[in-house]
Amino acid sequence: MASATGVTGWLRGKVKAVPSGDCLVIMGSSKAEIPPEKTITLSSLIAPRLARRGTDDEHFAWDSREFLRKLCIGKEVTFRVDYTVPSIGREFGSVFLGDKNAALLVVAAGWAKVREQGKQKGEASPFLEELKRLEEQAKEQSLGIWSQANTGGPVPELKEASKRKLPPSAIGDASNFDAMGLLAANKGRPMQGFVEQVRDGSTVRVYLLPEFQFVQVFVAGIQAPSMGRRAAVEVVPDVEIDGDDGNGIATENRPALTSAQRLAASASTEISPDPFGREAKHFTEIRVLNRDVRIVLEGVDKFSNLIGSVYYPDGDTAKDLAMELVENVCFLSSYILLALHEQKVHPFISTRFLAS
């Protein structure tokens, strides 16, 4: 999936995302429009788990993830798959930033535990002994997740501070989310955000900091190609005419669905992405995914999705995601023209596009 550094299995790539304190998404260094990717879990590490739908963070989960994210996001790395666990579909590996082993840095800072060798021979990091030594050192120094190790017992203040106070929207319940209230209180004012997901080139899912309100934001003034969706398939069995109901009206006898029909009915069909949908999503991902951004809210739609400008850091400057998308008209021009026709694009964007 990426260029090898010799015949030893080492590959080069760039870190695109950091899902947790022990996991990285690495895209290949090929010149393809959309490089292939690998998700690598750092061998022999266990980091605290972030909240999922209906659950809270494990203690120190956000801090653990932030350490690895700030260390690696957007960086060139060298990596190798050490072992795989087919039963869970995961690849475990070693990742280096220059000559620094990412797993050693994480454990030395106290942000992950070291796992003993797995059930199968070879399911362990080749650096396992060094990881164990650094884990003991982190414990002795009360670092990271071990910050309570030498206090004689749990300290309530430390324990409380080690977990995010998540609103319902952050764990899958947006029923009470007041989008209009949020807009009224913050319209036109820059808000700090963290992009957790990119749905398509012009739609991002963001934590608004510091409250961690989880919202979907449509980038104002532009509509990127769709990434497609899944549409349910309705299966209707053949109708058989079965006499009448005694009133001279023909009745239908609908036989029970066969196993194959039930399977088809429960399935869904993929609606393919629009042309250049994947390219637009990738364009946005490599700029804002798992990055700190500024959001300036401008509106809200009837589904409580927020509409706003998204600014991301680029060196010492901040760039407007909408403007960056528009300037790359090689894959967005047809959609911008459509949006212009439907009057969905802000005047300053349409003027810039027409003049380009």
Domain assignments of the chain as residue spans, ordered by start: 11-161, 169-227+273-355, 229-271
* C-alpha to C-alpha distance for 353 and 356, rounded to whole angstroms: 5
- Site of tokens 């957790």: 196
Query: What fold is seen in the domain 169-227+273-355?
Result: OB fold (Dihydrolipoamide Acetyltransferase, E2P) (2.40.50)
- Choose among 24, 22, 51: nearest CA to 38: 24
The dihedrals phi and psi of 315, each to the nearest 5 degrees, come to 70, -125
Burial class (CB in 10 A: 0-12, 13-18, 19+), 8: exposed
Q: What tokens were used for 73?
A: 């996001």
Is the pLDDT confidence value at 258 over 60?
no
Domain 11-161 and domain 169-227+273-355, same fold? Reply is yes
Is the pLDDT confidence value at 275 over 80?
yes
Query: What fold is seen in the domain 11-161?
Result: OB fold (Dihydrolipoamide Acetyltransferase, E2P) (2.40.50)
List all residues 6 or more positions away from 99 whose beta carbon is below 8 Å from its beta carbon: none
List all residues 6 or more positions away from 98 whose beta carbon is below 8 Å from its beta carbon: none
pLDDT in tens, 315-331: 889 999 999 988 875 44
Cβ(25)–Cβ(34) below 8 Å: no
Of residues 214 and 157, more confidence is placed in 214
Look up the pTM and report it.
0.78
* C-alpha to C-alpha distance for 204 and 182, rounded to whole angstroms: 17
Helix (H, G, I), strand (E, B) or coil at 170: helix
Q: Which of 59-63, 158-162, 242-246 has the lowest mean pLDDT?
A: 242-246
pLDDT in tens, 185-240: 999 999 999 999 999 999 999 999 999 999 999 999 888 888 887 654 444 444 44
pLDDT in tens, 14-53: 999 999 999 999 999 777 778 999 999 999 999 999 998 8
Fill in the amino acid letter for 330: C
